Amino acid sequence: MVNDTTLLLDLDGVSVVQVERLANGGRRVHLVTADETARACPACGVFATRVKGSAVTRPRDLPHGESGLEFRWHKRRWWCREADCPRRSFTEQIPQIPAGARLTARLRGAAGRRIRDAGSTVIQAARDLHLSWPTVMEAFRTQARDVTEAPLPQVAVLGIDETRRGRPRWEQDADTGKWRLTRDRWHTGFVDALGHGGLLGQVEGRTVADVLAWLATTDLDWRKGIGYVAIDMSATYRAAIRIGLPHATVVVDHFHVVQLANKMLSMVRRRTTAETRGRRGRASDPEWKARRRLLRNREDLTDDQFATMWNTLLGEGKIGQTLLTAWIAKENLRTLLALARTGADRHQVGHARWKFLTWCADSDIPEVRQLATTVDRWWPEIAAFIDTGHSNAKSEGINRVIKLVARNAFGFLAF
C-alpha cells in the first residue's frame, strides 16, 4: 500500500513528515526519501548500506494552492561499498528529483507543455511558474523534441499551404525614388488534412524546390501512403506535387475558388463604376451600397435583402445589369461546388459545369470570362474536390494559430 503522505503530493519517492506554517502565510513541507532504490549507486547500481551523512535540498515543484509550498528534502549521503566503483559516495535521488536538480521533473515538463501544447509564450510561462526564461526555454526544447523527433503519422490527405511571416518591408531608392521590396518572408506548412496529425512540418519559402526539399526528408513508404493533396489554387504547389507525389490526386480547396469569384465581382464593380461614372465609387452609389450583399451567399440573404439588392441594381442600367450578371456567375459556380459529397453523378456535375461555363461565355464580361477560363484550367483539381470533399481547412486553421503564436512571441505593439 502506498503511504498516505506520499499520495498527498502525488510525488513518488518521497513522504511528508512535517508541515509548518510560515510567517508570510506559506507552508514549508519537510520530506524524507520513501524509495529504497534511491540507495542504489548511480555509477555501479549496487545498493549502499553505510550512511556517510545527511543533506537538505530545496527542490521546487508545481504550485499548490494560492500561497504555494516550500520543500525541504532531508536525504542521506551514502558510501558505495563497491571497491572498484569510481563513485565513492552519493546522495539519494529519485526519478522526479535527480541529484543536483533544483526543480522537479514534473515542473519542468509542465513548463515546456505550456508552450508546446497551450500556445503560451516563454516569458508568460516563466511568470506563471516563477521560473527564469532560460529554464523555461530549455524545458520547451525538451518537450518539443518529443514532437519533432517522433515519426510522422500515416497521412491519407496532405494539406499544403503558405503563410506569411510578418509584414513585407519596402525601401525607397535614393537615386530613382522608386520603392522596392526588400523582405517578404513566406513559409510553407504541411498538415494532416484529414486525420489528427496536425502540423507535420514547415519550411521557409514557397517554391517548388522548398516543397520537394521537405518531401525528400520523409520516408518513401510514407509518401506512397498519401492519396490526396489539398492546396489552394497555386500552380507552384501543383507542379511540386506532380514531381514529388506523382501518384497523389491534387484537390483544390473550394473556399479559394469562391474567393476568386468574389474578387471577380469586386473587379467588375470597380471597372464599371469607373467607366460609367468617370470616377471611383462613392458611398452614395447604389452599387457601392450593395457591395457587401453581392459578396454574400444567396442562402445567407433574406428575401427582403435579396429583393432590395436585385431591384436596386436592376434599375441602375448598365452598371446594375453587369453586376447582376457577374453575381449569377458566382452563384452558378457555388452551385457546382455544392455538389461535393452529395452523391451527384457525372451527368449532374457535367450539367452544372456546362451551365456555369455557358453563362460566363454569353456574359461578354472580361472578368467573368477570365473566371471561367481559370475554373476550366483547374477543372481536374476542382472535380477531385467534388468527388471527395477534401479541403484545406485544417491548414488554414493551423496558419491562424502560427500567426497568433508569432504575435504573442514578439509581443504586442504599444499605441
Does 111 lie in the same domain as 6? no
> Looking at the domain assignment, is residue 65 inside a domain?
yes
Does 215 lie in the same domain as 204? yes
> Looking at the domain assignment, is residue 80 inside a domain?
yes
Does 398 lie in the same domain as 332? no
Residue 2 banded pLDDT, cuts 50, 70, 90: very low
Does 94 lie in the same domain as 31? yes
Does 259 lie in the same domain as 349? yes
- How confident is the model at residue 415, as a pLDDT? 34
Does 405 lie in the same domain as 382? no
Does 190 lie in the same domain as 240? yes
The contacts of residue 339 (CB under 8 Å, 6+ apart) are 348, 349, 352, 386
For the chain, first and last CA: distance in Å? 60
Does 209 lie in the same domain as 292? no
- How confident is the model at residue 165, as a pLDDT? 81
> Looking at the domain assignment, is residue 29 inside a domain?
yes
pLDDT tens, position by position, 161-194: 999 887 888 888 888 888 888 887 899 999 999 9
Tell me the mean pLDDT in the region 34-53.
Answer: 90
Tell me the mean pLDDT in the region 151-157.
Answer: 93
> Looking at the domain assignment, is residue 277 inside a domain?
yes
Q: Are strands 50-57 and 228-231 parallel, antiparallel or unpaired?
A: unpaired
C-alpha cell at 83: 571497491
- How confident is the model at residue 1, as a pLDDT? 41
Residue 135's domain spans which residues?
A: 105-150
Q: What is the percent of the chain where pLDDT is above 70?
A: 96
- How confident is the model at residue 108, as a pLDDT? 93
> Looking at the domain assignment, is residue 415 inside a domain?
no
Distance CA 18, CA 5 (A): 10
> Looking at the domain assignment, is residue 33 inside a domain?
yes
Tell me the mean pLDDT in the region 35-50.
Answer: 90
Does 216 lie in the same domain as 170? yes
- Enter the DSSP assignment of 24: T
Boundary (domain end) residue, out of 124, 150, 176? 150
Q: What is the CA radius of gyration of the chain?
A: 32
Does 259 lie in the same domain as 249? no
- How confident is the model at residue 190, as a pLDDT? 96
Beta strands in 213-304 (DSSP E): 228-231, 249-252
Residue 414 banded pLDDT, cuts 50, 70, 90: very low
Number of domains in the chain: 4
Boundary (domain end) residue, out of 102, 119, 135? 102
Does 62 lie in the same domain as 1? yes
- How confident is the model at residue 5, as a pLDDT? 54
Distance CA 31, CA 93 (A): 13
> Looking at the domain assignment, is residue 19 inside a domain?
yes
Does 137 lie in the same domain as 43? no
